[in-house]
């Protein structure tokens, strides 16, 4: 009897050793039944066949890509930007199921011609969230999920609480994207392309909410969609 092959889920990362969130992404992929493959600028593995793609969080996207000015003294990772844009382009052309997490959701939006807010605390009221290690672990804020959306079909709820590890957020929406979740103050927490089977971006970090079924289900649905691909 032949064993069913696990779908390969490529997930992007910076160069160097995996950080804690990278490790959590890998664990979530394995729990969901997939096989993780770390993609990074010095080892992008463009020649590898993948069945699903995760664009993970990390350093801010270089602002010139959406016609904004870089922040003074901020160290950007343009090599990673380029790698992720190439992988996203390959995934879109081949209709590979794609999940964007935090920076990844922002990149998905920018790749479709959208833009970002560089500092949400200057745009939205009550958008100065706690920061630091303990806040990243324990702080939660409520978001409202659009009921007619792919994200709602995964989370099975229209109100949920998520973590907050970002200072930037989506501003102008990219082509053929719709908003699937927001905070009460207006900050966008989810986007998707409704015409694709799985093209979802979330501003929060579901990999760090691994103890909750609904957030593990995001990875499960990605892996299931990748199996069909």
Q: Please identify every residue annotated as catalytic.
A: 102, 205, 207
Burial class (CB in 10 A: 0-12, 13-18, 19+), 159: exposed
Please name the residues in contact with 72: beta carbons below 8 A apart, sequence gap of 6 or more: none
126 Ramachandran zone, left/alpha/beta (phi>0; psi -120 to 50): left
Instruction: Give the Cα separation of 120 and 122 in Å (integer).
Output: 5
Instruction: Give the Cα separation of 219 and 155 in Å (integer).
Output: 11
11 token code pair: 């997930």
Instruction: Give the Cα separation of 82 and 210 in Å (integer).
Output: 29
Half-sphere exposure of 117 (CA within 13 A, CB side): 18
- Angle, alpha carbons 141-144-146 (nearest 5°): 155
In eight-state DSSP terms, residue 12 is: E
Instruction: Give the Cα separation of 107 and 6 in Å (integer).
Output: 27
Residue with token string 């994207």? 177
């Amino acid at each position: 009897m032949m064993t069913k092959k696990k779908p390969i889920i490529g997930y992007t990362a910076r160069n160097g050793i995996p950080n804690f969130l990278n490790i959590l992404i890998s664990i979530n992929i394995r729990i969901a039944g997939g096989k993780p493959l770390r993609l990074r600028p010095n080892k992008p593995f463009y020649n590898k066949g993948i069945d699903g793609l995760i664009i993970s969080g990390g350093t801010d996207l270089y602002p010139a890509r959406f016609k904004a000015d870089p922040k003074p003294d901020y160290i950007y990772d343009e090599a990673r930007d380029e790698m992720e844009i190439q992988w996203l382009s390959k995934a879109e052309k081949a209709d590979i199921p794609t999940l964007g997490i935090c920076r990844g959701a922002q990149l998905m939006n920018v790749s479709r011609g959208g833009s970002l807010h560089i500092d949400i605390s200057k745009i939205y009221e009550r958008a100065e969230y706690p920061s630091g290690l303990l806040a990243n672990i324990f702080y939660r804020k409520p978001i409202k999920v659009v009921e007619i959306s792919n994200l709602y079909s995964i989370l099975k709820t229209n109100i949920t609480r998520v973590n907050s590890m970002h200072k930037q957020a989506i501003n102008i929406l990219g082509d053929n994207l719709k908003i699937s979740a927001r905070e009460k103050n207006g900050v966008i927490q989810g986007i998707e392309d409704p015409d694709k089977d799985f093209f979802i971006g979330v501003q929060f970090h579901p990999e760090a909410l691994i103890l909750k079924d609904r957030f593990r289900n995001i990875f499960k649905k990605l892996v299931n969609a990748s199996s069909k691909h």
